[in-house]
């Protein structure tokens, strides 16, 4: 592989993106930061309060409890969705109308508006008239409205149902991009299915898995519409996640300063976690990392030969 070339003119290629995101992100964020340090009593009457709002947020027991729930929720759904997504993607048919049908069916949960997901599951989980509720009730009492554990499990199940397809699709796209030669080489070496997965597929899937992991972490940490409609944060506060608290503070109580401070802290937490994931997962892309097996090197060289022929073939 050739290394990347240093070229500062690449900034011109990046410029449109920078401008767009600056317009949609930096200006609004500055407003938020501005609100977070002052108490807006009226448009003309503002009081500078420094970090008081931040202190109030960071010591609020309701917010700390919601933060812990977010953390547990994200961990649980990642542990279920990533392996399950890979598992389903590897089972998916690859050719013909079956592959097409499978893709459409897998992807459908993703394109359902989030409030519809919440509405569907709310009815589905009703112990009196919902399929899920009635079914579970045959075996043990199930009441999403009064039993915190039931509400929690339903919320996790809903998220797994809703978002595992994202992991599946990304992994499927990644699997499709693995050249057949890799499988042929593995077959010649009489590699077991597990070795094929571990040494051929998994390394090639690293990038898509990183995307899946980060996306699922971020989105599960920001989850709002589905649990809000499913349980409204209840019973009690058992499914009250941070975004529900934030939206109450910002859009119902209209507490500008406190919600701005909360927003910034919230944002920062997600960034720190994502940064850790991102850094850990891209460790061996750093210069100096030499974690390459002999086999991949050989394959890379084969690839290069293929590339040359393919480009020449395409031109003639």
Partner 1 sequence: MTTTNIPVIQGPLRGSYFDWRSWLFWFIMAVWSIPLLWLVSMSLRFNEDILAKFEVIPSRISFRGYTDFFSDPVWVGSFINSISYTTINMVLSVAVALPAAYAFSRYTFSGDKHLFFWLLTNRMAPAAVFALPFFQMYQAVGLFDTTYAVALAHMLFNVPLAVWILEGFMSGVPKQLDEIAEIDGYKFGRFFVMIFIPMIRAGIGVTMFFTFMFSWVELLISKTLTGPRAMPLSVQMSTTSTAAGLDWALLSAAGVIAIVPGVIVIWFVRNYIAKGFALGRV
CA distance 226 to 155: 8
* Geometric angle at alpha carbon 246, from 244 and 247, rounded to 5°: 65
| Six-digit token string for 120 | 């569907």
Rounded least distance, CB 311 to partner 1, Å: 5
In the bound state with partner 1, the residue whose beta carbon lies nearer, of 51 and 108, is 108
Q: Is the dihedral of CA 55, 61, 62, 63 positive or negative?
A: positive
Rounded least distance, CB 85 to partner 1, Å: 11
Q: What is the 3-state secondary structure (H, E, C) of 92-119?
A: CCCCHHHHHHHHHHHHHHHHCCHHHHHH
Rounded least distance, CB 72 to partner 1, Å: 18
Rounded least distance, CB 30 to partner 1, Å: 8
Rg, the chain, Cα only: 24
Please name the helix (run of DSSP H) or strand (run of DSSP E) that holds residue 39, with its range, or none. Answer: strand 38-42
Rounded least distance, CB 61 to partner 1, Å: 21
Q: Give CA separation, 29 vs 16, 23, 33, 57, 215, in Å.
A: 19, 10, 6, 18, 21
In the bound state with partner 1, the residue whose beta carbon lies nearer, of 65 and 110, is 110
In the bound state with partner 1, the residue whose beta carbon lies nearer, of 12 and 48, is 12
In the bound state with partner 1, the residue whose beta carbon lies nearer, of 89 and 235, is 89
């Amino acid at each position: 592989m050739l290394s990347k070339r240093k070229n500062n003119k690449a900034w011109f290629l990046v410029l449109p993106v920078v401008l767009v995101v600056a317009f949609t992100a930096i200006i609004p964020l500055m407003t938020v930061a501005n609100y977070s340090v002052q108490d807006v009593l009226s448009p003309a009457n503002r009081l500078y309060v420094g970090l008081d709002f931040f202190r109030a947020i960071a010591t609020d027991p309701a917010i700390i409890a919601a933060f812990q729930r977010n953390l547990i929720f994200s961990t649980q759904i990642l542990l279920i969705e990533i392996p399950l997504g890979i598992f389903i993607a590897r089972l998916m048919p690859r050719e013909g109308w079956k592959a097409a049908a499978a893709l459409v069916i897998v992807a459908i949960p993703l394109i359902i508006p989030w409030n519809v997901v919440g509405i569907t599951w709310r009815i589905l989980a009703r112990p009196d008239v919902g399929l899920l509720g009635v079914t579970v009730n045959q075996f043990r009492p199930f009441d999403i409205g009064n039993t915190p554990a039931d509400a929690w499990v339903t919320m996790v199940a809903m998220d797994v149902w809703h978002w595992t397809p994202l992991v599946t699709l990304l992994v499927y796209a990644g699997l499709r991009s693995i050249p057949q030669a890799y499988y042929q080489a593995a077959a010649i070496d009489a590699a077991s299915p597990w070795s094929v997965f571990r040494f051929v597929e998994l390394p090639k899937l690293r990038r898509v898995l990183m995307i899946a992991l980060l996306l699922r972490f971020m989105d599960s940490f920001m989850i709002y519409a589905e649990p809000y409609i499913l349980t409204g944060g209840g019973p009690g506060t058992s499914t009250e996640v941070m975004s529900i608290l934030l939206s109450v503070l910002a859009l119902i109580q209209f507490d500008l300063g406190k919600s701005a401070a909360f927003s910034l802290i919230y944002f920062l937490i997600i960034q720190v976690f994502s940064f850790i994931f991102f850094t850990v997962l891209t460790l061996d892309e750093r210069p100096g990392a030499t974690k390459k097996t002999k086999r991949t090197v050989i394959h890379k060289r084969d690839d290069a030969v293929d590339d040359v022929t393919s480009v020449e073939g395409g031109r003639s």
